[in-house]
Structure 1
């Protein structure tokens, strides 16, 4: 069991299934079981996945002053996250609406409210960082001070950059410089993926880079193993909704990488974990158990 400090955004997510993107105008569209609303956010979803896999997780985030924290842990979910370090200090909780279609296209509308104007109370972070194995961060502004704390306590840092924008790379420099593990999505990538990984690795000296490529799979870079390889997706479930798959993949990778130190074993488990996740509605539903992961891994790649 690993011990993770996870810091990042919590938001209210509404997911809407549509026939196709772009959406054609209609005054009214009625479809049963096509709209789903729940708590979400990259770091929130990663915390849930790590907890599901048996890890000890301290989740640190900020939400709206009037946010009902009971929404963090709906009654029908088998696991719970502590809300002790989720601070209700913003004017409102960030909100996101995601439209998706059967071709796995997405259109996202994001409202981060006053997130950029808020900071986290760092006074309670150092003792928790001292007792964790890894610090997992989103690249939100309020997460920047966590980088320094992790370095002061000699803890490895993993960062989910989410959507990469070359024009904004300089604003992420502190995260990129400090991370042992980086996760990117290629949704907004405009350069060749191999060139992108080589540039990131050369510029920042990152040990592990994961580049999610949606239905095409992913690329894994491991500096210590001199490895840069593409993996196709695997199928364990019918696709219902791919939203949150990247968060699930990243969390599962970190769980097994910290447990074994083997990036290839970890990424294969992560591919399985994400492939099962997309068979469920909602970003925080549909997690495989460790026993299921072992069974599927042996079935697809053989017993190691």
Structure 2
């Protein structure tokens, strides 16, 4: 079991299933599944890592009058610790997500006053001293966490999600200090391997995971001299792919801290993300370690090396 500090956004989500995107705005949509509840990158990571058995310190900010226990759905078997979710904003951020059967998404996000929010760091220093890793998003209130993790000599994992060249300078403190970086390729132009090469030259992280949606991902491991594309795997029927990246980076971190083996960890991360897409809510569908082992045996005892990587490479 690892001790992990998570710092990032918590929000309310309204998730709506529609027939297709774009949809006819002049037509009433009947009988579409709708979910309203808690979500956000940090909350999803907290549920994933708690389900995997890690001790999680979930540090986030919400509205001043917010009852933080609403972020523990009553039908969930896993309960996350909400002691470190601070009600320091005027109101809690929210997001509306439309998705269809082809996994097209239309997202409306209202982050409220989160850019001005500040976290009370007085409680962070003693916790960080005992932690194994900081998993952080690039929200403004998360910037001080980088300093505390560096001061304590802890590994830093950055869940950056989308990338923008124009905004990269605002994320320099995160990128320069992160040991593990997860980025989705949704907004990346050009060759993905060249993108990774450029990143490694400028920031020299230990690990880069470049998510590539349905096609899988690219794993870069500096110390193992690994830079491979891994195909996605099939577990559940896909219902909603939103949140798969949070599941993947969470699972990768759990097994990387446990085994120091990035290839083992990314294989587990791929099946973890695949299984999670079988659920509508972004904060559900997380496997236990026992379930991960069951799925791993099912997938890689029968899958060829070519199917796994998409290229002919030696088996690890």
Q: Same fold (TM over 0.5)?
A: yes
**Residue of structure 2 in register with 1:284 after alignment:** 283
**Residue of structure 1 in register with 2:231 after alignment:** 232
Deviation, structure 1 residue 27: 3.9
Unaligned runs of 5+ in 2: 303-315
How many pairs are equivalent? 303
Report whether the alignment pairs 1:17 with 2:31. no
Alignment of 1:85-100 (within 5 A): 85-100=84-99
Q: TM-score scaled by structure 2? A: 0.94
More divergent stretch after superposition (189-198 vs 164-173): 189-198
Deviations 1:205-259 (Å, cap 9, x if unpaired)?
Answer: 0110001111111110000011111111101111111111110011000000000
Deviation, structure 1 residue 186: 1.0
More divergent stretch after superposition (106-115 vs 286-295): 286-295
Deviations 1:109-131 (Å, cap 9, x if unpaired)?
Answer: 11100000111011110000000
**Residue of structure 1 in register with 2:70 after alignment:** 71
Deviation, structure 1 residue 24: 2.0
Unaligned runs of 5+ in 1: none
CA contact under 8 A between 2:47 and 2:286: conserved in structure 1?
Answer: no
Deviation, structure 1 residue 101: 1.0
Alignment of 1:85-234 (within 5 A): 85-234=84-233
Deviation, structure 1 residue 38: 1.3
The 2-side partners of 1:215 and 1:26 are apart by 31
Alignment of 1:39-50 (within 5 A): 39-50=38-49
Q: TM-score scaled by structure 1? A: 0.97
For 1:28, what is the secondary structure of its paired residue?
A: coil
For 1:166, what is the secondary structure of its paired residue?
A: coil
Deviation, structure 1 residue 104: 1.0
**Residue of structure 1 in register with 2:306 after alignment:** none
